[in-house]
Each structure stands twice: as C-alpha cells, then as structure tokens.
Structure 1
C-alpha cells in the first residue's frame, strides 16, 4: 500500500496550506478572543472586589452610626407605664376592693413619672421611694402605709411594695 503523491499536485498543496494557515489563524483568533474575554472578566472581578470592599466599609460605618443612635435613644428612653405589685397581698388579708384602691392611689402618685426620661427617674429614685412610703393611704375606714421592697426602672416602672398598717 502506498500513500498517494499529493505533494506534487498544486491543488492539493494549496488545500493543505489553506488548512494549515486556517488552523493557525483560527488558533490565533481563539487565543485573542480568550485573552480579551479573560481580561474583561479580570477587570470586572477587580471592580467587584473594590465595590464589595467599599460596601463593607459603608456597612461598618452605618452599623457604627446605628449603634450610636441606639445608645443615644436608649439614653433618652422614657417611662411608658407604672406597675405596682403587692408582695404581701395574701398575708395582708385585704379584700380586692381595698387592694384596688391602694393600687390606684399609689399609681396616681406615680402618674407624673409617665413619659419622663428614665435617667431623671433613676436620679430621683429616692424621691420616688419617699413619695410612696411617706404617704398614708386610706381604704375604707383603715389607713395603710406602703413600703417599697424592690424597684425596677426601665420603659416600665415596676414597684414591688409591702402593705403595712398605719400607726
């Protein structure tokens, strides 16, 4: 078996030369396009990295600003409600009406604290204590004094008081 002598015919020589040149031209075109696309992708990736870094910085700045605002708002919080709970409700053996009257009178003493700044309420904690403890409360024909056992001041002023008979 023998290979045909195509190298002697000029038509075949042009064909093979065209295939070789076309292959080289195609490969060069592919390399050029791949390089251009790769370069665009690298540029886009770097832009995105810079954008992400800027956004992380902006997020950090916004978080710091938000934390500062939250701290400022927390300092400026106000008392929204006053809650009075009797610790010796059962042992005092008072009926519900007497307990309700005592609670209403004590809450009426504290109504000025509603919508007041928490800081000022904390500073006037002793004043609140004296206001409740130094007053004699009347329910029916008996008089009572209230003794504050615990006090929690935040957006809600919680007072835990003990009922004592007035002397």
Structure 2
C-alpha cells in the first residue's frame, strides 16, 4: 500500500499553503484580539484597585473622625433630667400623693445637677448622697429621712430612695 503523490499536484499545494497561511493569519488575529481584551481587563482591574484604595482610605479616615467625635461627645455629655423615685415600705404607710409631692420637691432641689457634666456629677456622688440622706422631710406631720438605694448617672439621672422614720 502506497500514499498517493498529491504533494506534486499544484491544486493540493495551493490548498496546503492556503491552510498554513490561514492558520497563521487566524492565530495572529486571535493573539491580537486576546491581547487587546486582556489589556482592557487589566486596565479595568487597575482602575478598580485604585478606586478601592481611595474608598478604603476614605472609610478609615471617616471611621477615625467618627470615633473622635464620639469621644468628644461622650466627654461633653450633660445631665438633662433628674428622676427621683421614693420607695415606700409598708411599715411607713405614707399616702401616694405625699410621696409624689416629696419626689417633686427633691427633683426641684436637685435641679442644680441639670446641664452639669456627667463626670463632675459622678465625682460628687457622695456629696449628693450625703445631702439627700441628711435632709428631713415631713409627710403627714411625721419627720422622715431618706436613704439612697441606687443612683444612676447618665443623661437622665435616676435616684431610688427609701423612706425611713427619723429617730
């Protein structure tokens, strides 16, 4: 068995030459298209990377600024409201209206705490406690003393007091 000698025919030679030249041309077109597409994608990635870097730096700057502002605001917090709650043990048997009036009176007395810095008020908490505990109030013509149970300092300061007979 023998391979036919088509390589001598000019039509086959032109066909093979055309196929080789076509392959080379198509490979060059492929390389050109792939290269230009790859270059566009690389440029797009670089643009996105620079944008990401800018946004990251802006975010970190804004977070730092926000943290500083929060710290400044926290330092400048003031007392906006003073709430007094008097607990009435069953053995004192004081009317609710009298307790409410006493709470209002104490709230008026503690008005000096309003718009005061939280740190200052917290530092003077023992003084506030002594002032309240040394105060004698009359309810139903009987003298009572107040005992501080709890004090919470924040923009709204809560005082929880207990009523005791004066001895």
TM-score, L = length of structure 1 = 0.81
Aligned to 2:149: 149
CA distance in 2, matches of 1:88, 1:141: 16
- 1:48 aligns with 48
**Unmatched segments (≥5 aa) in structure 2:** none
* 1:102 counterpart residue number: 102
Deviation at 1:91, TM superposition (A): 3.8
Equivalent pairs counted in the alignment come to 167
Pick closer, same or farther for the CA change 1:91–1:22 going to 2, 3 Å. farther
Query: What is the alpha-carbon distance in structure 2 between the residues aligned to residue 91 and residue 66 of structure 1?
Result: 53
C-alpha deviation, 1:7, in angstroms: 5.0
3-state secondary structure, aligned to 1:43: helix
Q: Is the 8 A contact 2:147 2:163 kept in 1?
A: yes
Secondary structure of 1:132's counterpart equals: helix
For 2:125, the equivalent position in structure 1 comes to 125
* Aligned-partner Cα distance in 1 for 2:32–2:91: 94
Structure 1: give runs of 5+ residues left out of the alignment: none
2: CA distance, partners of 1:135 / 1:95? 20
* Structure 1 contact 78–118 (Cα < 8 Å) conserved: yes
Compute the displacement of 1:6 (Å).
6.0
How far does residue 82 in structure 1 lie from its aligned partner after superposition? 1.7
Q: Please show how residues 1-167 of structure 1 align to structure 2 within 5 Å.
A: 7=7, 10=10, 13-167=13-167
Indicate conservation of the 8 Å contact 2:92/2:165, yes or no. Answer: no
Contact residue 109 and residue 132 of structure 1 kept, 8 A: no
RMSD: 2.6
For 2:92 and 2:131, how far apart are their aligned partners in 1?
A: 22
Q: TM-score, normalised by structure 2?
A: 0.81
Which runs of 4 or more aligned residues in structure 1 lie more than 3 Å from their structure 2 counterparts after TM superposition?
A: 1-16, 87-91
Secondary structure at the residue paired with 2:137?
strand
1:83 deviates by 2.1
Give CA-to-partner distance per residue, 1:77-135, whole Å, 9 cap, x none: 12222222234433422121121122111111122322322122113223322332233
Other structure's SS at 2:157 match? strand
